[in-house]
Amino acid sequence: MKKRLQYTCILLGSGVLIYNEISPNSDVMLSIIGLTLLVTGLYLISRGIGDRPDYDPYAVQSEEEEE
């Protein structure tokens, strides 16, 4: 359900922005609404990415590797 909301925000925001660019009489408020929906969808998706793991490939893993 949450992913559906994320992608719906992105698609709806993109659609509103494209429609606003194509239409002959562009409205600033419509652009703001579309951009807000697009940014909200991107934020919701990026929130779920998580942190990078704390893996250091150059760190010594065991005492056998030191010798």
CA angle 50, 14, 43 (to 5 degrees): 20
Tens-binned pLDDT, residue by residue, of the chain (67 aa)? 677 888 999 999 999 999 999 988 888 999 999 999 999 999 988 887 776 667 777 776 666 555 5
Look at residue 27 in the predicted model and tell me its pLDDT: 85
Does residue 20 fall inside a structural domain?
yes
Does residue 55 fall inside a structural domain?
no
Give the residue among 19, 17, 24 at the shortest CA–CA distance from 42.
17
Give the residue among 35, 33, 40 at the shortest CA–CA distance from 9.
40
Query: Does the global pTM surpass 0.95?
Result: no
Look at residue 49 in the predicted model and tell me its pLDDT: 77
Does residue 18 fall inside a structural domain?
yes
Total domains in the fold of the chain: 1
3-state secondary structure of 37: helix
CA angle 26, 31, 34 (to 5 degrees): 135
